Every structure is written in C-alpha cells, then in structure tokens.
C-alpha cells in the first residue's frame, strides 16, 4: 500500500483531474487527508481512486466510479468499486468520462 500511496501522491501533483481536499459533509479522520483522482492511457484504460490517505498507513478506501458521458446530464457507469477501479477500453473513439471527485475529461477510449 505504501507504493500505491507514493504513486497516488505523485499523481495528485501531476494529474489535472484531481481533487485533494476534505469534503464539508464528511470530516477527515484524524491524521488523514482525502484523495481522489484518475490516471489513464488512451486506448488502454482509465483507473480511478478514492481514499482517505492516513499518516499511519491504514488508508481507508471509499466508493469510486468511472462514468462515460452519454448526453447532457446523463452518464453511464462503466466501472465501480471501493478504493480504486479500472475501466479497460480498446479502440480509438473519442469519449468524455468523469470519475469520483473529478471533473469531465476527454480521452480516446471506447
């Protein structure tokens, strides 16, 4: 998990679609911070993560999903899980997706 935490921390800094702030409706557990985001490879996959990352190493997985945009206000869930989930895609069709805690992003992934 420490390797994942290090990767996630680097991704928090490098990924444009990342939110890393505690939500007002749910206070952070002591010694923890909220982390949600995604990373992707065009034509290959989208992986989303959503955790309370804790200083003591006991990270707390939260519900996470990847959704594909269909039309204004309508999304289809293509993957979901706890902590992290991956949507494997193939082809090169341009689509818009969103993940838990991020805004819409476009990628060649179908």
Query: Is the CB of residue 37 less than 8 Å from the CB of residue 104?
Result: no
Q: What is the pLDDT of residue 110?
A: 83
pLDDT at residue 76 above 70?
A: yes
Instruction: Specify the higher pLDDT residue, 78 or 26.
Output: 78
**What digits encode the pLDDT tens for the residues 26-64?**
688 999 999 999 999 999 999 999 999 999 999 999 999
How many structural domains compose the chain? 1
> By residue range, what is the domain housing residue 50?
2-24+31-108
pTM, two decimal places: 0.75
Q: What does DSSP say about strands 45-54 and 60-61: parallel, antiparallel, or unpaired?
A: antiparallel
Average pLDDT of the segment spanning 81-96: 92
């Amino acid at each position: 998990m420490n390797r994942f935490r290090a990767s996630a921390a680097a991704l928090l800094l490098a990924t444009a679609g990342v939110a890393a702030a505690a939500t007002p409706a749910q206070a952070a557990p002591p010694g923890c911070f909220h982390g949600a985001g995604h990373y992707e490879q065009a034509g290959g996959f989208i992986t989303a993560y959503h955790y309370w990352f804790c200083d003591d190493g006991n990270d707390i997985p939260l519900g996470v999903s990847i959704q594909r945009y269909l039309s204004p206000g309508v999304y289809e869930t293509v993957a979901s899980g706890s902590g992290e989930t991956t949507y494997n895609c193939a082809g090169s069709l341009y689509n818009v997706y969103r993940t838990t805690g991020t805004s819409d992003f476009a990628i060649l992934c179908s």
